[in-house]
């Protein structure tokens, strides 16, 4: 049984470098020697990785007959010439060992050790290779469809990748043998085995697709500042250019949508909004609510909230189907956004002259004479004080208070 053949068999297709391969083989065979002789001193292990063969040599100093004091380090001249007739006293005697000399059980144990070491090396190699590729797009063939995940074979390395169901887009209906793209999200160890997790829902996937389609991003002319997604439904991408000659939104969309269309198809018709990033929060919120047109915005920077006012026909656009547009806008800007119709804008105050169709002029003049020119200035005073100061009847005061209060209740 040839252990070198065993190594070649397991090395096939595994990216193990030559120095590592030699070291593993030497370790395994030196362990074999130690078990038989108690030490691996005075033994040479020569591995020829190109030819795929191995030589084991025992090396001892040749001494006169009867002067051997250490049988592991020395050999008598008569015994040495039995191995090679030309040997002389003072030379080193090289005696070749063969695997059959170690016994079947020892060889089987060594073979198992060799297999185990190679598999460990393979696991380490897979982990190192893929941990460096986290965030990269990978193309693979659907190999197996399980209840909770899809197994995909990396088209480049042939290694098995895992795509959990929650990392798939809702519109993904895959069949065995189909090619699929995803981004390497993480590499984790399960039962001492590296598992490469691939995602199609991660924002990084959309970012890398944009990099592939938009040369200006790869060249650094355009920066993707932030991406938020509801996979398979809608995504918003904030982009920025440090070159005034480059329109980041136009570059990402492409002529007649040529660049963005391919990404939309890959993401199962996910609606992608590309917006210009800005540090002006009010403007950024306005852009993030695209395609809706915003009339005005009231910001509360301390609480990170924004009241956005729109014309009635723009409200549904701002909210989006199932609230998707406003949810993504909130995530993109990191502000909690509330949408209001323009007619719902709260009126701070109203001049009393605006109520002449409901309140008689002489009554309004009575309030003005005590310094109350607006509705709120009247409502701030209680009924008793108003009656005392205006000399109006209580019934009239009650009627005025009802009219003024109802104005603000409606708003």
Regarding whether 157 and 71 lie in a shared domain, the answer is no
**Mean pLDDT on 363-378:** 88
Regarding whether 296 and 235 lie in a shared domain, the answer is no
Regarding whether 250 and 196 lie in a shared domain, the answer is no
Regarding whether 124 and 112 lie in a shared domain, the answer is yes
Task: Provide the pLDDT for residue 204.
Answer: 96
Task: Provide the pLDDT for residue 411.
Answer: 46
**Is residue 306 in a domain?**
yes
Task: Provide the pLDDT for residue 1.
Answer: 41
Regarding whether 286 and 174 lie in a shared domain, the answer is no
> How much of the chain exceeds pLDDT 90, in percent?
45
The segment with the largest mean pLDDT, out of 10-19, 90-99, 270-279, 398-407, is 270-279
pLDDT class of 7 with cuts at 50, 70, 90: low
**Is residue 261 in a domain?**
yes
**Is residue 318 in a domain?**
yes
pLDDT tens digits, one per residue of 333-342: 999 999 998 7
Regarding whether 8 and 84 lie in a shared domain, the answer is yes
pTM of the model as a whole: 0.63
C-alpha to C-alpha distance for 154 and 127, rounded to whole angstroms: 14
Number of domains into which the chain is organized: 5
**Lowest mean pLDDT, pick from 2-6, 65-69, 300-304, 402-406:** 2-6
Regarding whether 101 and 15 lie in a shared domain, the answer is yes
For residue 214, pLDDT beyond 90: yes
Which of the listed residues 256, 272, 288 is the one where a domain comes to its end? 272
Q: Encode burial over 237-274: b for 16+ CB neighbours within 10 A, e otherwise.
A: bbbebeeeeeebbebbbeeeeebbeebeebbbebbbbb
Which of the listed residues 99, 128, 157 is the one where a domain comes to its end? 128
Regarding whether 266 and 210 lie in a shared domain, the answer is yes
C-alpha to C-alpha distance for 121 and 15, rounded to whole angstroms: 9
Regarding whether 63 and 39 lie in a shared domain, the answer is yes
C-alpha to C-alpha distance for 408 and 410, rounded to whole angstroms: 5
For residue 54, pLDDT beyond 80: no
Q: Pick the more confident residue, 99 or 73.
A: 73
Q: Tokens 């039995």 — which residue?
A: 82
pLDDT tens digits, one per residue of 141-168: 999 999 999 999 999 888 899 999 999 9
List the domain range (segments joined by +) for residue 159: 140-201
**Is residue 133 in a domain?**
no
For residue 84, pLDDT beyond 70: yes
**Is residue 134 in a domain?**
no
pLDDT class of 279 with cuts at 50, 70, 90: very high
For residue 49, pLDDT beyond 70: no
CA dist 76 → 42, 57, 70, 87, 117 (Å) = 16, 17, 11, 11, 39
């Amino acid at each position: 049984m040839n252990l070198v053949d065993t190594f070649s068999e397991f090395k096939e297709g595994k990216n193990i470098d030559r120095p590592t391969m030699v070291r593993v083989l030497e370790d395994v065979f030196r362990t074999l020697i130690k078990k038989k002789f108690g030490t691996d001193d005075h033994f040479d292990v020569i591995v020829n990785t190109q030819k795929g063969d191995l030589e084991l040599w025992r090396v001892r100093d040749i001494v006169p007959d009867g002067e051997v004091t250490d049988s592991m380090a020395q050999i008598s001249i008569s015994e040495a010439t039995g191995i090679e007739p030309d040997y002389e006293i003072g030379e080193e005697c090289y005696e070749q060992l063969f695997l059959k000399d170690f016994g079947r059980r020892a060889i089987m144990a060594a073979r198992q050790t060799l297999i185990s070491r190679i598999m460990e090396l393979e696991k380490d190699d897979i982990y190192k290779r893929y941990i460096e590729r986290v965030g990269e797009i990978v193309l693979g063939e659907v190999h197996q469809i399980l209840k909770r995940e899809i197994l995909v074979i990396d088209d480049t390395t042939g290694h098995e990748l895992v795509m959990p169901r929650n990392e798939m887009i809702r519109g993904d209906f895959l069949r065995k043998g189909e090619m699929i793209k995803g981004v390497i999200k993480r590499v984790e160890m399960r039962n001492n085995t590296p598992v490469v997790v691939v995602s199609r829902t991660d924002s990084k996937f959309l970012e890398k697709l944009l990099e592939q389609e938009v040369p200006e991003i790869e060249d650094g002319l355009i920066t993707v500042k932030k991406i938020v997604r509801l996979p398979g439904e809608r995504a918003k991408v904030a982009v920025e250019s440090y070159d005034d000659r480059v329109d980041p939104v136009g570059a990402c969309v492409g002529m007649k949508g040529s660049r963005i269309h391919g990404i939309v198809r890959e993401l199962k018709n996910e609606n992608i909004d590309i917006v210009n990033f800005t540090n002006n929060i009010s403007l950024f919120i306005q852009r993030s609510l695209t395609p809706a047109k915003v009339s005005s915005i009231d910001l509360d920077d301390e609480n990170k909230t924004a009241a956005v006012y729109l014309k009635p026909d723009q409200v549904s656009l701002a909210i989006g189907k199932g609230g998707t547009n406003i949810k993504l806008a909130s995530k993109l800007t990191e502000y909690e956004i509330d949408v209001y119709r323009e007619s719902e804008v709260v009126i701070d105050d109203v001049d009393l002259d605006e109520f002449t169709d409901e309140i008689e002029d002489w009554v309004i003049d009575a309030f003005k004479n005590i310094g109350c020119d607006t509705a709120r200035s009247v409502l701030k005073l209680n009924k008793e004080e108003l009656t005392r100061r205006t000399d109006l009847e209580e019934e009239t005061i009650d009627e005025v208070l009802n009219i003024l209060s109802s104005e603000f209740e409606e708003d």
